[in-house]
């Protein structure tokens, strides 16, 4: 799960930095109307995303499995929520390139679902007893 946390942190931080530093360019990329208040909101969004990326970066070093699982569940839920919000945005204000954040959110949601629900059931041959299937 550590690699997934690292990937998520880097992607979120880069998107956040992009919206924080170049809000006009970021909004133009999605074909949205850019008014002065929209630029301010885009900068706030960028700051929040950058902070989230840094926070996820620090969470990559979690040792406690229960906490790591809870964080992964929260990040999976956030990815699913992002997917829904992007679909709503694509139906109204996002005119171009809406598929990019849509694909990113799906990839992270599937990645966290795999790490949470499928990977624990995969038993390596000769693995430690904790990972062996109980009969």
Confidence of residue 122 (pLDDT cuts 50, 70, 90): confident
Q: How many CB atoms lie within 10 A of CB 28?
A: 14
Q: Output the pLDDT for position 8.
A: 97
Q: Are 39 and 24 in contact (CB under 8 A)?
A: yes
Q: In this structure, is residue 18 part of a structural domain?
A: yes
The closest of 39, 33, 43 to 96, measured between CA atoms, is: 33
The closest of 118, 88, 122 to 105, measured between CA atoms, is: 88
Q: How many CA atoms lie within 13 A of 65 on its CB side?
A: 3
Q: Of the spans 62-66, 73-77, 86-90, which averages the highest pLDDT?
A: 73-77
Work out how many domains the chain is built from and give that number. 1
Whether 128 has a pLDDT exceeding 70, the answer reads no
Whether 124 has a pLDDT exceeding 80, the answer reads no
Q: 11-20, 85-94, 121-130: lowest mean pLDDT where?
A: 121-130
Q: In this structure, is residue 125 part of a structural domain?
A: no
Q: Output the pLDDT for position 36.
A: 93
Q: In this structure, is residue 40 part of a structural domain?
A: yes
Q: Output the pLDDT for position 15.
A: 97
Place of tokens 């070093």: 61
Q: Of the spans 31-35, 80-84, 87-91, which averages the highest pLDDT?
A: 80-84
Percent with pLDDT over 70 in the chain: 90
Pseudo-torsion of CA 125, 115, 52, 101, nearest 10°? 130
Q: Output the pLDDT for position 86.
A: 93
Q: In this structure, is residue 22 part of a structural domain?
A: yes
Q: In this structure, is residue 132 part of a structural domain?
A: no
Domain that holds residue 61: 2-120
Q: What angle do CA 32, 110, 47 make, to 5 degrees?
A: 40
Q: Could you read off the pLDDT of 18-72 as tens digits, one per residue?
A: 999 999 999 999 888 889 999 999 999 999 999 999 999 999 999 999 999 999 9
C-alpha to C-alpha distance for 32 and 43, rounded to whole angstroms: 15
């Amino acid at each position: 799960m550590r690699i997934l946390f690292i990937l998520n942190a880097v992607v979120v931080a880069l998107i956040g930095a992009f919206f924080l530093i170049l809000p006009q360019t970021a909004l133009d990329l999605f074909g949205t109307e850019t008014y002065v208040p929209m630029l301010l909101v885009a900068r706030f969004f960028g700051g929040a995303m950058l902070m989230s990326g840094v926070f996820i970066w620090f969470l990559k070093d979690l040792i406690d499995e229960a906490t790591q699982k809870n964080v992964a569940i929260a990040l999976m839920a956030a990815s699913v929520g992002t997917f829904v919000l992007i679909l709503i945005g694509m139906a109204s204000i996002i005119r171009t390139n809406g598929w990019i954040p849509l694909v990113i959110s799906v990839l992270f949601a599937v990645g966290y679902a795999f790490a949470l629900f499928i990977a624990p059931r995969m038993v390596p041959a000769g693995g430690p007893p904790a990972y062996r299937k109980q009969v």
